[in-house]
Structure formats: structure tokens, C-alpha cells
Amino acid sequence: MFAAMSADDILRKLPKVELHRHLDGSVRISTIWELAQEHGLDLGVRSFEELQRKAVLRTPRESLQSVLDCFATQQSALCSFEAISRITRENIEDAWHDGVRLLELRFAPAFIARGKTITNDEIIGAILDGMLKRMAAWPVEVGLIGILPRGYTAEENAAATRDIIRWRSGGAPGASRICGFDLADSEAGFDPRALAPLVEEARASGLGITIHAGENTDAAHVARALDIYRPSRIGHGIRSIEDPNLMRRLADQDVLLEVSPTSNWITNAVPALPALYRAGVPVCLNSDDPNLFGIDLVNEYEVCAREYGFGEAEFSVMNSAALRHSFLRPEVTARLAKEL
């Protein structure tokens, strides 16, 4: 018992860099419950226990509908400026307690706004508000990544891109922390060229590019994302293990895969991390949507220690790779490199 506790403690205290955590996919269940009472949200549940069963994905699910229900329940809580600021603060707080010293949080304005009257400006303003409050309280470095969901309309995604870029260059307090741009949601049946002009606009404005690819789709989707979007990071990308040439390309071009073992297991993706690591592909560890999966980031380190035999050396390599690939300004990462 004591040994188990101290191992957890060691992993918790390890200073970490986390680049892939969705603030709009990771709302504390207690917060969803409180916000539902406060705002009269109809979550279709009668008790907190029922909400836990509905909103937390602890094992792979057969039905796509039950997975979508989880996301919809999380999304409904992001319903006002104050709620979004609070959820941002809590995400940073949770990461801090996981030992995270540099966090890049991502969010999709169009996903948060759907079905509500809240605007992209209110959403981005609320996230900056929550971020600045936590950064004032703790020595944690935070960056923000804007996401376009692939399945949304061209108008929604064009508006989100324009608003993310305008906020980044607008000079509001904390706005320079908006540092990255991402595409997410299902790749299947989607024309990848459709969003390429928006990715180029984001790059031209100085945003770093990361793309969700190759989680449930094959290695060819990762190669295609590299060809079309030229990202320096890929969200998941674990199906790259199917193609040795692609793994060599990722290693040679120093493209980082942002891997999340529990998330990949829940979405029935392959456990690829050890093979990718051994092939020299830059990889880092992330929680993706911790409250949705009922985990924390320390849990992902424990999985790697227990299942893959990873220890301090591997964790150090992965955190260094994450820091090197952060989209935050070099003076921020240099300061942290000394500390780590």
C-alpha cells in the first residue's frame, strides 16, 4: 500500500508538459451538476449518480449515441461567460494538481456555441479571463489552441478562424497566449482540402498547427495530413505504426505525436505508444478529455509505467519533446526548460 502510494506521489510530482487537453471535453461532473441547477439546464437525469453514468466514459462503448451523449452533456455546461471562465480555471487547476507546469488547452468555439446564444467573442473572452486568473495564482504557463470541428459548416469554421486570429492579434490581456490551431472530429468521409485555406490563414497569423489524424483512421490519413497541412504536431496519430516509412518521416521531420493511452483505448484505437517510442518518433503524454474519461494525467503516466515499463528516462524524453514542440513563445519555454 505504502509503495503504491509513493509511486503515485512520485509520478504526480514529476514536472510535466501537457499539450493536448480539451477544455470543452473535460468539465468536472460536480461542475456540470451545479451549473445545471444554476442555469436550469435539462440534462435528462434526476440525480448526480445518474449524471455520472451519463457523462463519464469509463470503458469503450458499443453505441455511438452514448458517446455523443457524453460530449453533449459536457457541452451544455459551457453556457455563459462565467461558466466558461470557471471551467477554464478548473481545467488549469486539475492540470496543476497533475504536476503540469506548461499546459496547452484547446477549445472549439463553434462546438461550444452550438444551440446557444453565446458568441465566439464571449467564449474566447471567458477563456482568457479564466486563464489569467489561474496564471496569476500559480506559476503555470498556459497556451490556447483554437479548434475547427471538421463536420461543422464552412460558415461556422470560417467565422471561428477569423475570430481566433482577431483575438490573437487584438492586444487584449493574455491574447498572445492564443498560440495554436487544430482540426478535430471524424476524418472519415471528409475532404481534407476543404479546410486547408483556413489552416494557411492561421499559420500566416503566427499560430502553430496541430491536426487530429490517424486515431481511428489509418496511417495514410496521417501522411495526408502532413502533406496538406504541414503541421509540427499530430493529435494521436497512433495508426502511424502501420507504416514504417511514415514513422521514419515523423522522426526525420521531428513531427510530434500527442498520445493519450486511455482515450485511445476508449475509442478502440491500438495501443501503439511503446512501438512509436522505440522507433524514435517524437511522442508526448496527454489526458485529452480527463473528466470525460474519469481519469487524470497521472493515470496516463501510471498506465505507461505499469503496462509498458516506462520510467523516469522515458518520461523525461517525452516531456522534453513536448516542451520543444510547444506553441508558446521561445522565452516562455526557455524559462521552463531551466526549471524542468
| Count of Cβ atoms closer than 10 Å to residue 289 Cβ | 24
Q: Closest CB to Zn ion among 208 and 235?
A: 235
Q: Closest CB to Zn ion among 72 and 175?
A: 72
Q: Nearest distance from residue 272's CB to Zn ion, in Å?
A: 16
Q: Nearest distance from residue 20's CB to Zn ion, in Å?
A: 6
Q: Closest CB to Zn ion among 129 and 296?
A: 296
**CA pair distance 130, 81, nearest whole angstrom:** 10
- 8 Å CB contact between 17 and 284: yes
**CA pair distance 171, 166, nearest whole angstrom:** 9
Binding positions for Zn ion, 102-131, rule CB under 5 A: none
Among 189-197, 226-234, 273-281, 286-294, the segment contacting Zn ion (CB under 5 A): 286-294
* CA-atom Rg of the chain in angstroms: 19
Among 117-125, 135-143, 168-176, 281-289, the segment contacting Zn ion (CB under 5 A): 281-289
| Count of Cβ atoms closer than 10 Å to residue 42 Cβ | 7
Residues 231-250, one symbol each (x = binds Zn ion by CB under 5 A, - = not), give: ----x---------------
The type of residue at 302 is E
Residue of 90, 141, 215, 258 marked active site: 215
Where do the H-state alpha helices sit in 14-147?
Answer: 29-39, 48-55, 64-77, 81-97, 109-113, 120-137
Q: Closest CB to Zn ion among 235 and 290?
A: 235
Among 3-11, 229-237, 294-302, 318-326, the segment contacting Zn ion (CB under 5 A): 229-237
- Name the residue with cell 496516463: 300
Q: Closest CB to Zn ion among 125 and 214?
A: 214
Q: Nearest distance from residue 334's CB to Zn ion, in Å?
A: 27
How big is the site for Zn ion, counted in residues (CB under 5 A)? 2
- Name the residue with cell 509505467: 305
Per the rule left: phi > 0, alpha: psi between -120 and 50, beta: everything else, 17 is: beta
Among 114-122, 150-158, 284-292, 306-314, the segment contacting Zn ion (CB under 5 A): 284-292
Could you write out the DSSP letters of every residue in 258-326? EE-HHHHHHTT----HHHHHHTT--EEE--BSHHHHT--HHHHHHHHHHHH---HHHHHHHHHHHHHT-
Q: Closest CB to Zn ion among 132 and 199?
A: 199
Q: Nearest distance from residue 10's CB to Zn ion, in Å?
A: 27
Q: Closest CB to Zn ion among 76 and 286?
A: 286
Dihedrals phi, psi of 90, to nearest 5 degrees: -70, -35
Q: Nearest distance from residue 184's CB to Zn ion, in Å?
A: 6
**CA pair distance 122, 136, nearest whole angstrom:** 21
Full strand arrangement of the beta sheet holding 16-22: 16-22, 100-107, 141-149, 178-184, 208-213, 233-236, 256-259, 283-285
Instruction: Note if 215 is an active site residue.
Output: yes
Q: Nearest distance from residue 212's CB to Zn ion, in Å?
A: 6
Active site residues: 215
Report the interface residues with Zn ion, using CB under 5 A: 235, 288
